[in-house]
Structure 1
Amino acid sequence: MLRSLRSRAAVAGGCVAALGLGLALAAGAPASATDRTDPNGRYTAEEIHHFLEGFYGNHGPRPWERDYLVSDQLKERNAQTPGYDLLLCAQNEPADIEVGEVTTAQSARVGWATITTHWAQEPRTATFTAYVDLDGSRPLQLLEVDCAPGD
């Protein structure tokens, strides 16, 4: 739904754009303790999936997501790759992005999903893995990206 609203906001502008921005901002905010379904105070796979869909949208993270929803270490690594966007594992903006099923490792306190990018230049896709911290006491943020293709 968020992806759909973001697409409509780009076309309609005005009030719809403000609504889309509000939803995108809400996607980065942690759920309150009463919204939490995990009794251990960790983010759930559903919450992480929602976050990653909001973060990546249809074409990649916007400046706000890049500034506020990425770990400092990942921001630093991305800054060291001029001409290559580490957050997308690509040099260009994809035509579309899909977030796969989220896996959580409670003992490692991390969740991850395969991100699939679709490219308009040719009918091809690429995949990478995005990692998010499960600690519900902190706001959700992208911790790490593994650009190596999965098996």
Structure 2
Amino acid sequence: MLRSLRRSAALAGGCAAALGLGLVLTAGSPASAAERTDPNGRYTAEEIHHFLEGFYGDHGPTAWERKHLVSKQLKEKAAENPGFDVLLCAQNEPLDIEVGEVTTAQSARVGWATITTTWGGEPGTASFTAYVDLDASKPMKLLDVDCGVAG
């Protein structure tokens, strides 16, 4: 749903963009998260999937998402790699992005999913793993990205 709203916002302009931004802000706020999380105060796999779909969209995160929805450590990792988009494990924008099934490791307090990007040339697709903190007392953020072959 959030992915569809992002597309609509891009097409419709100002009002829809403000609405989409409001939904992203609400989805990442601790108050709204507390209403949906599991009884132990952790984000669920469904919530993480929804977050990752909204974060990555069809072509990658926006400048706002990169600034507000990424951990400090991942921002530092990105700054250390100019010319390479650490969040997409690529050098340019993909044609499409799909978020795979989310796995949660409650003991590690982290959830992750394989992100598959589609490109115009060969090999056509690439995959990487995106990690999100399960702690629902904090706004959801992208913790890390592993550009190694996702499996």
- Once the two structures are superposed, the pairs formed by residues 4-83 of structure 1 within 5 Å of their partners are 4-30=4-30, 31-36=32-37, 38-83=38-83
Aligned pairs for 1:95-106 within 5 A: 95-106=95-106
1:107-141 Cα distance to aligned partner (Å, 9 max, x none): 11100000011113457111000000101111111
In the superposition, the TM-score normalised over structure 2's length comes to 0.92
- Looking at structure 2, the residues matched to 142 and 32 of structure 1 have their Cα atoms a distance apart, in angstroms, of 15
Q: Which runs of 4+ in 1 moved over 6 A?
A: none
AA aligned opposite 2:80: Q
Unaligned stretches of 5+ residues in structure 1: none
Counterpart residue type for residue 35 of structure 2:
T
Question: Within 2, Cα distance between the matches of 1:92 and 1:112?
Answer: 23
With 113-122 and 65-74 compared, the bigger mean Cα shift is at: 113-122
Output the amino acid matched with 1:66: R
The question of whether the paired residues in 2 share the 8 Å contact of 1:27 and 1:54 is answered with no
Residue pair 2:9, 2:16 contacting (<8 A) in 1 also: yes
Q: Secondary structure at the match of 1:20?
A: helix
CA distance in 1, matches of 2:13, 2:34: 34
Could you tell me how far apart the structure 1 residues matched to 2:133 and 2:20 are? 25
Please report how far the alpha carbon of residue 14 of structure 1 lies from its aligned counterpart in structure 2 after TM superposition: 2.8
How many residues get paired?
150
Aligned-partner Cα distance in 1 for 2:100–2:68: 23
Deviations 1:48-106 (A, max 9, x none): 11111111111111111111111111100100111100000000011111111100001
**Aligned partners of 2:73 and 2:33: how far apart in 1?**
26
Conserved 8 A contact 2:27-2:33: no
Percent of aligned positions that are identical: 74
Structure that is richer in helix per residue: 2
Structure 1 Cα separation of the partners of residues 136 and 110 of structure 2? 11
Shift of 1:25: 2.3
